[in-house]
Every structure is written in structure tokens, then in C-alpha cells.
Structure 1
């Protein structure tokens, strides 16, 4: 029996369909991705989101360099999907909906917050993978339902908070040295 080969275009289409399954209006969301680059999707159905401040993420990565931070996120979250809103200076990590039941997310904090049922989120088009866009995928989704693990997200946030508490300002050295 031969293993099936799935092209990148097929995988991208499967991710698109999976994400659009939580849109109020699939046709409008698809059109918004084409024209605006962002579609409004509902959290809490097939995925939740952990919204993390840029300060925490850059502290965890030990760098201010966008490319270095993006590489760090891919490693730290084991390939879990992340996008960045550069206007609001927030990173959004897609996670399972059960993540919100973990003790660290029971109350909202300014630097990191779980968003589940009752939240709507502007999600960038899947082809927005460059920091030149206002919102872009730092770590694109690899396939439908391939989400970041809750422990990896908790560790990232904890590391960022610890580094800030210890006065370790991001530079360019720490994450670069991890290459």
C-alpha cells in the first residue's frame, strides 16, 4: 500500500475549510479573506485562542527581531499555529478548546488570555505569511486541527513572564544562540 501524498495546496484548502467551519457566513468570510485579508471567526467550537502580548513573546524569545521571534515560536510551540496582529501588538496561538480549563487561564490578564466560547476573532488569510502584512501567520497551520499544545503555550508565557521579572530585556542574542 502506497502512502498518500498530499500537496501543499490540498493541505491549505483543508485548513481553509476547517477554519471556515466556525464562520457565521462562510461565503462572506472567504470573500473577506480575499478582499480585506482578515475574516471574523468564532472561537470555542473547533479551536480556542491564547492571546499573548508582544512583550511576553519577545521576552520569551529573547529577541526583538521578527524573523528570530517567528523561528522561536515555531520551535517553542512545536509547530503549533500562531499569527500576529502588528497593529495591536498581540500574538494569537490556536489551541484546543479544553485549554481554557487549565488553571493558568481561569482569569484574564493583560499579558496573556484564553479566548473560547463567546469570542470572535479576526483571522488572517492563510496566504498572509509575511510580516509586511498587518496580520500574518508567524507559524502557519500545517493541517486541519493541528493546534498548539496547552503545555507548550503555558511554558512560553511562563518563560516570558520570568525573563521580564528577572529584568532580561530582549536583544537579539539569546534566541539567535539557540539556532
Structure 2
């Protein structure tokens, strides 16, 4: 399967979460993000940038993306550098209840939440959000246990920095 065929399969799968498929496709063509409903096909775990930078030990965006790719074993992650958040896409059935806010500002976006998802086509320039870790296959998501481990590492690293600052 070619990269273009994979991107089409991923796009088709993601568009199943769009309430307005034509609008979502238009947003993608224009370089924007399509607003997709969480809780149907996938959930999204919002990870604050400062938490991931602490876990990775770097402020370099390319190095951070590579670290996240390794930590989540290639599971798909969307980055929004303007809001300083990353979104790990996990199964919709993710039973990780954090309430509104988890440790370090982590939150789970499920039913009733929407996420701006950039185009899965690499040739489309992204205006705001981008795939820090692209979705390689339709339906391939992050393992929530790996996301939890990454969050725990970030919280531990932040606590160590805080303790050293005292």
C-alpha cells in the first residue's frame, strides 16, 4: 500500500467522526483542521506541552515529536503548538477517568467533545495543528497504558525540577 493510499484510508476512517463530511474535507483542503467528534471512533487525551517537554527533557519541537513517537510506540498524536497541547488518539472506550483535569492539566476528550484534526495527507500544508505522530493506518490508535506512563514520567520530572528549585 502506498503512502497516498494509506492517507486516503485514514481520511475515510477519520471522516466517520465528522458531523459534516463536506465541511471537514473543505477544511482539510484549505490547510485547516476538521472538527471531529470524540467518543465515537476515538477519544483524545490532551497532554500539555510543558508536561511532554519535561518528560522528554527537550524544548526542541522535532526532538519532542520524536520522543513522543517512541514513548507511544508510533500511536497517532496531534500537536497544536499555538495552544501548547498535544492530543494522543486512543480507543473511544478508553476507561481512564480523569474528570475535567488530570495530573499536570491532562484531560480526556470523549463523548460531547470535538477535536480539530489536521489533514492526514502530508502534502497539505497545516496552518495550526499538525500530526506530531501521523496515523499510519485507519483505526490504529495509542495504547492508553503508554499514554498513562508518559504522563507519569512528565509529572515525575516536573516534581523533580520543582523539588530542586526549593
- Is the structural similarity TM-score above 0.5? yes
Unaligned residue ranges in structure 1 (runs of 5+): 1-5, 169-179
CA 1:76 to 1:130, structure 2 compared with 1: closer, same or farther past 3 Å? farther
Partner of 1:144: 138
Aligned to 1:98, the other structure's residue is in SS state: coil
Deviation at 1:15, TM superposition (A): 0.2
Unaligned residue ranges in structure 2 (runs of 5+): none
Partner of 2:49: 54
TM-score by length of 2: 0.90
Q: Matches of 2:42 and 2:35 in 1, distance apart? A: 14
Pairing of 1:160-171 with structure 2 (within 5 A): 160-167=154-161
Q: 1:89-121: CA deviations, max 9, x gaps?
A: 10011001122x225x24523621010000011
RMSD: 2.0
C-alpha contact (below 8 Å) 2:118/2:131 kept by paired residues? yes
Pairing of 1:1-179 with structure 2 (within 5 A): 6-99=1-94, 101-103=95-97, 105-109=98-102, 111-127=105-121, 133-167=127-161
Equivalent residue pairs, number = 161
Partner of 1:175: none
Aligned to 2:93, the other structure's residue is in SS state: helix
Moved over 6 A (4+): 129-132
TM-score by length of 1: 0.84
